[in-house]
């Protein structure tokens, strides 16, 4: 079956170059190297493509979050693996794959501001699903704003860990989900 593509490899290349260039310009006069923080696992491919285009000395670090939907309306976010860098006084650039309800990024930004004193926190997300937002989160740099709530896959985005390796972003269809579910049985 042919995938319905949301971001092609070519579009991703342009997006990562443009965001990397904008961040280079924005952070070129920092006194201390900024920290680029990848939100695993989904943002890994996007993170490495963006940082290749940032022509600055930087510190790379990684955090893994997990969200639990207790009911349809409340989600609880926990840290599965924390970052290690000393972010006090530095600019922190969070790199995320997709901001959906906003709960994960609201949690992470609050966590950072409550426990550290960064110079500033900048949020970069490949995709911004503004139509499904539950809490207010501002994405500073994005590759694409989504106006539909389709479930997206590829380029880091997964369903039960499947298809993170696909080099473009596409819309998951019911048949895809059925197929992956059959592999998990
Ligand atoms: P939140 O709802 O904004 O907290 O998003 C939490 C996480 O859900 C994101 O970081 C993604 O990893 C995942 N997610 C949200 N929408 C999608 C999607 O369409 N495909 C795959 N993962 C998604
Ligand atoms: Mg994510």
pLDDT in tens, 83-105: 999 999 999 999 999 999 999 99
Q: Which helix (H) or strand (E) holds 56?
A: none
Question: How large a percentage of the chain has pLDDT more than 70?
Answer: 96
pLDDT of residue 163: 95
CA distance 81 to 52: 24
Asked whether the predicted pLDDT for residue 140 surpasses 90, the reply is yes
CA distance 33 to 46: 20
Ligand 1 atom nearest to CA at 65: 10
- If one counts every other C-beta atom within 10 angstroms of the C-beta of residue 52, the result is 11
pLDDT tens digits for range 113-122: 999 999 999 9
- Active site includes 128? no
Q: Which of 4, 37, 41, 42 to mutate to test the pocket of ligand 1 (most atoms within 8 A of CB)?
A: 42
User: Which residues lie closer than 8 Å to 32 by C-beta, 6 or more apart?
Assistant: 89, 90, 119
Asked whether the predicted pLDDT for residue 2 surpasses 90, the reply is no
* pTM (2 d.p.): 0.96
Asked whether the predicted pLDDT for residue 167 surpasses 90, the reply is yes
């Amino acid at each position: 079956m042919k995938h319905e593509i949301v971001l092609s490899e070519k579009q991703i290349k342009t997006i990562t170059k443009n965001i990397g260039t904008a961040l280079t310009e924005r952070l070129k006069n920092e006194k201390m190297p900024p920290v680029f923080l990848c939100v695993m696992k989904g943002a890994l491919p996007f993170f490495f493509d963006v940082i290749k285009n940032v022509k600055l000395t930087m510190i790379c670090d990684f955090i893994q979050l997990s969200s639990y939907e207790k009911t349809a309306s409340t989600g609880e976010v926990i840290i599965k693996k924390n970052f290690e860098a000393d972010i006090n006084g530095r600019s922190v650039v969070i790199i995320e794959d997709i901001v959906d309800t906003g709960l994960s990024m609201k949690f992470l930004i609050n966590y950072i501001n409550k426990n550290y004193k960064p110079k500033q926190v900048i949020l970069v997300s490949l995709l911004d699903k503004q139509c499904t937002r539950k809490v207010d989160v501002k994405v500073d740099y994005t590759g694409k704003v989504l106006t539909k709530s389709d479930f997206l896959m590829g380029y880091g985005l997964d369903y039960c860990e499947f298809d993170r390796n696909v080099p473009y972003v596409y819309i998951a269809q019911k048949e895809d989900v059925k197929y992956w579910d059959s592999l998990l049985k």
